[in-house]
Amino acid sequence: MAGSTPRRTAQTTWCGSRVLPRTAPPAYRHARPSSAPLAVDPVQASSPIQKAPPQRGGATAPPAPRDPARAGTSTRSGVVEEVGSDVRGVQVGDHVVLGPSYCGKCTFCRSGEPMYCENGFAELFGCRRPDGTTAFSKDGEMVGSHFFGQSSFATYANVSENSVIVVDKDAPLELLGPLGCGLNTGAGAVLNEMRPEPGTSIVVFGSGAVGFAALMAAAAVSCSTIIGVDIHDSRLELARELGATHTINSSTQDLHAELEKITGGRSVNYALDTTAISSVVRDAADALGTRGVLVAVGAAAPGEEVSFEVGSSLTKGWTFKTVIEGSAVPQVFIPRLIDLWKQGKFPFEKLVKTYSLEDINTGFEDSASGAVIKPVVAY
């Protein structure tokens, strides 16, 4: 059984950045400051309320839920163990990936755009279930749960049905955890928002998980010129492996001169910024040709602004879009990404390195240093 039971996984980054809460909500006495290393801490798991399908791991699962107050920064994959009485779309035994939560009731959710949920902040960062309870407790006191709709650095994740994406059982569960956020974001920006025609050109700024996902997606839909821009040669090397036809090191090369050379002076049709650095966003805008589309997906620091030249913008007829989580409906989009992976068109396994739970802090360190793009903790 141990050999055949899929392991649950949790990725240790959120859209390419560590998003550990700097301070936990005051009610959660058992939370640690974010500067402290992660530690395993047994807590009690409550029963599911309606619409709450918990999932558990296989034979490698540790005996108790782990540190959920600090745990919510991941997305994960796993096997459903129990479902709430109102759950209709998920069954015990289903293999699932967890994605961001959404309310399912607001205008945008009902219009097929759940990543723009009007109640998204509470769903993702409220650390409670809709009835005000949490999924975990310790010594009789509530411990925050459902961070990013998940709190999944734990043996059990107790989540809303809206966070759950059922996937094929023949897909390797130990690999699928990262699909719920960064990969979804980069691929969705290309496939759901840009929708580039075959033979068009795209430039992607930033080579983290989001940027790499975008490069892979652009290659999957046959963009003919796929340009990766970063300041690290090792990242650019990987970008080429994942589908970039050209790369530019913007710290050592003249970005716009290189772009002109690559495109034969025609500029690019599509640009994606994953950096949220205003000067880079401006570079991305300037890289576009007439009727070009720039998509920005990075989470910028408060107050970060970018300016564009109005006159030339008008005559260029270009589009600037901000996009959250790839504008995806996760239950539709993530299975599509898995299908692309099966066909070798979305080789995100090249980004993943697996760690044991005991080595979770090493995973965080490797992510922060850039040594690993997608650290995955296998239980």
* Residue ranges that bind Zn ion, judged by CB under 5 A: 102-103, 106, 109, 117
In the complex, least distance from residue 20 CB atom to Zn ion, rounded to whole angstroms = 25
Contact 225, 201 (CB under 8 A): yes
- Rounded to whole angstroms, how far apart are CA atoms 209 and 183? 6
Question: Which of 117/217 has CB closer to Zn ion?
Answer: 117
Question: Which of 102/379 has CB closer to Zn ion?
Answer: 102
| Among 224, 261, 268, residue whose Cα is nearest residue 244 | 224
In the complex, least distance from residue 89 CB atom to Zn ion, rounded to whole angstroms = 17
Question: Which of 123/273 has CB closer to Zn ion?
Answer: 123
In the complex, least distance from residue 379 CB atom to Zn ion, rounded to whole angstroms = 31
In the complex, least distance from residue 375 CB atom to Zn ion, rounded to whole angstroms = 30
In the complex, least distance from residue 128 CB atom to Zn ion, rounded to whole angstroms = 16
Contact 16, 230 (CB under 8 A): no
In the complex, least distance from residue 191 CB atom to Zn ion, rounded to whole angstroms = 22
Contacts 24+ apart (CB under 8 A), 19-24: 19/73, 19/148, 20/70, 20/73, 21/70, 21/72, 21/147, 24/69, 24/70, 24/127, 24/144
In the complex, least distance from residue 248 CB atom to Zn ion, rounded to whole angstroms = 39
Question: Which of 102/153 has CB closer to Zn ion?
Answer: 102
3-state secondary structure of 227: strand
Tell me the torsion sign for CA atoms 350, 329, 16, 122: negative
Token readout for 120 is 């998204």
Angle at 174 between CA 170 and CA 175, to 5 degrees: 85
In the complex, least distance from residue 111 CB atom to Zn ion, rounded to whole angstroms = 10
Question: Which of 40/106 has CB closer to Zn ion?
Answer: 106
Question: Which of 102/147 has CB closer to Zn ion?
Answer: 102
State how far the alpha carbon of 191 is from the alpha carbons of 84, 187, 196, 290, 375, in Å. Answer: 34, 6, 7, 20, 25
- Rounded to whole angstroms, how far apart are CA atoms 329 and 377? 25
In the complex, least distance from residue 328 CB atom to Zn ion, rounded to whole angstroms = 14
Question: Which of 102/348 has CB closer to Zn ion?
Answer: 102
Contact 139, 60 (CB under 8 A): no
End-to-end Cα spacing for the chain: 15
Contact 168, 93 (CB under 8 A): no
Contact 352, 374 (CB under 8 A): yes
- Rounded to whole angstroms, how far apart are CA atoms 296 and 193? 11
Question: Which of 120/177 has CB closer to Zn ion?
Answer: 120
Question: Which of 89/289 has CB closer to Zn ion?
Answer: 89
